[in-house]
Structure 1
């Protein structure tokens, strides 16, 4: 048994314990309680003067698939040859040796979601992984963590310049609908064949990848900045009865009531950015506050390498400048992020039974002076300053 003792423990699930003890046994949190008494025989990590928190969760980035240092050699984010590629799997492209994983640990990020970029209307599977390991298959928490889709300027720019669809927003929406309708037809043929009412269709990997989306087992995660693109995603999700996450959601504050009414979730960011393209004209730090105030479940992302993954906590801190309450800002990179990923039973708070993914810091995570001192994943020390 390992005891992290004497620190200021932000459980996220309840009160701050100062001082508090976190007990770890067999890769899991065994207990969390106030004080500094530890069981006899336990190995002790002295956290006196430190903040103890659950590991941070970056709900949207491209670590390992847009590799640090490299340019085109290590960039596998976008398959520019076909605008509809839901069958692509991030697990086949993520390099666990990417320096971005080390950067994540240095910033206290113990879980992240990585995957395709936004050049394609349907880009492929996204992947939730722990940030320590040498074989990606052994780092996986959830596969897939959703199917990536994109609306707005990126698919238009990627294909329209070559006189290919989508050259307009209408075409992007039509291609998305077409792929979903084809997958529905494929599902119907499979069901009929299983019931003896026809022959089994030839395997269709594109449609097969969308079946879990149609069954609401995983969300469709749609890149959308402008309010009109966000509402197009909502319209299509309603039409096909899909679970929907809006990625970026830059102008979500303009339609926050609509998103809340339809149970749409948002992964907001990158927060540390300028108006790098026309779709970011309406960017504001108040976005997260408005979305949260309307009741939209949200997480904060870095979109690494757009913002380096180690600045996830600072990104959430900046959302506070826009009015997001401190508690919600902390939750946006811990338990609320875990909830959006469907991993809240394992991650996001310091509670008995959860994975022992724990970060020790020398100050509050939103203070720019704060340094990450030590990181544990599944109870194992994986990074130390």
Structure 2
């Protein structure tokens, strides 16, 4: 058993408090008690003078499939041989040894959603993984089918328009997505036909139509966001809006349609037209209108390892500190559909925890210990994990 004693505990699911003990065994949080309850023989992490949070969650990255330092050799994010590729799965490209995953873990980010890129109107299936390095990606998986990536706006038009290949316009992007969803309906209608040939792409679309996974819609401009919501309503499917750069211009629409949003990244320049309305105040605006949202790094666009910095910037521009932390923990978990396992400090949840020197939203804060599934990582002053101790690991 592992006991983390003392410190300011930020459970996220309830108000902060000090002086408690978090008990971990077999990769799970098994309880929160008092120092006098520590059993003999328990391993101890001294959290006094520190802050303890759940492991952070980055709700949109390209970690492991868009490797740093490798240029073309490490770029497996977009299959641009054709514009509609729903059968692609990111788990077939994730490199567990990607340095970005190691950096993210040392920064306290223990769970990430990895998505295909946005070159294609339909790009493939996302996955959710833990960031502690394992021998295979299967050992890191939280959810294999985390959503079907679709993309609106400039990116598909730029990639295919220069070749005079559909989609050249926003109309064509929407048409390709609708056409594929219609084909999915037809495919499902033939499910009892023994002569039906299995189609990997249509199997992915069928998961969306059965609401087994959502559409994950890359959309920056307000009109693109509304188009994505329109298509989701037409086909009665679940959808999450990703990036949502102009979401703060239409918060009433998002609230009325009960949209969920993964915002960001904000710490970037206005590098293309659809980013012109980028606003650091967007999180505060959505919060004021009751729109559920999480924050993202979009790694490698900005480093995943500094997710708390992006949350802190949202606080600078009007978001409450409590909600900023929720946007990279419990709210992110709820949007990803994994809140039963991660996102808060509560009995029964995965033992994903971070012990911080300083409040995590302060620029000077640093993780001292990062715990993933009960494995304890010691973090150096250079924010690198220098060792892993299997004090209370999950049984595999």
The bucket for the TM-score relative to the shorter chain is: over 0.9
Alignment match, 1:196:
none
SS of 1:172 mapped into structure 2: helix
Most deviating of 181-190 and 320-329: 320-329
How big is the alpha-carbon RMSD for the aligned residues of Structure 1 and Structure 2?
1.2
How many pairs does the alignment contain?
A: 379
What per-residue deviation string (whole Å, max 9, x for no partner) do you get for residues 24-71 of structure 1? 011100112466752333221111111111000000001100011110
- Name the structure 2 match of 1:338: 333
Q: Matched residue of 1:77: which SS?
A: coil
1:256 aligned partner: 251
Question: TM-score of the superposition, structure 2-length normalised?
Answer: 0.94
Matched, 1:154 2:155: yes
Give ranges in structure 1 of 5+ residues lacking alignment: 194-198
Match of 1:8 in 2: 8
Task: Write out aligned runs for 1:49-128 (5 A).
Answer: 49-128=49-128
The one-character-per-residue Cα deviations of 1:233-279 (angstroms, maximum 9, x if unpaired) are 00000000011100001101122222222221100010211111100
Q: Give distance in 1, aligned partners of 2:289 and 2:135.
A: 41
Q: Aligned runs of 1:272-287 on 2, under 5 Å?
A: 272-287=267-282
The 1-side partners of 2:104 and 2:86 are apart by 27
Confirm or deny: 8 A CA contact 1:5 1:38 kept in the other structure. no
CA distance in structure 1 between the partners assigned to 2:270 and 2:376 by the alignment = 39
Partner of 1:165 in structure 2?
A: 166
Tell me whether 1:43 sits opposite 2:43 in the alignment. Answer: yes
What's the counterpart of residue 188 of structure 2?
187
1:203 deviates by 1.5
Deviates more, 1:25-34 or 1:56-65: 25-34
**Deviation at 1:205?**
1.6
Of 236, 240, 246, which residue of structure 1 is paired with 2:235?
240
Q: Distance in 2 between matches of 1:324 and 1:181?
A: 40
1:174-323 equivalence runs, <5 A: 174-191=175-192, 193=193, 199-323=194-318
Secondary structure at the aligned position of 2:39 is classed as: coil
Shift of 1:208: 1.1
CA-CA distance at 1:217 after TM superposition = 1.4
State the distance in 2 between where 1:188 and 1:255 align.
Answer: 37
Instruction: Report the secondary structure of 2:32's partner residue.
Output: strand
Cα distance between partner residues in 2 of 1:33 and 1:370: 26
Q: Describe the SS at the equivalent of 2:319.
A: coil
Distance 1:37 1:316 in 2: 35
How far apart are the structure 2 equivalents of 1:157 and 1:288? 29
TM (norm. structure 1) is 0.96
Distance 2:3 2:34 in 1: 12
Aligned-pair CA distance for 1:379: 1.0
What is the rounded CA distance, in whole Å, between the counterparts of 1:360 and 1:376 in structure 2? Answer: 9
Partner SS for 2:6? strand
Separation in 1 of the partners of 2:221 and 2:35?
49
Q: Cα distance 1:34–1:257, how it changes in 2: closer, same or farther (>3 A)?
A: farther
Unaligned runs of 5+ in 2: 381-396
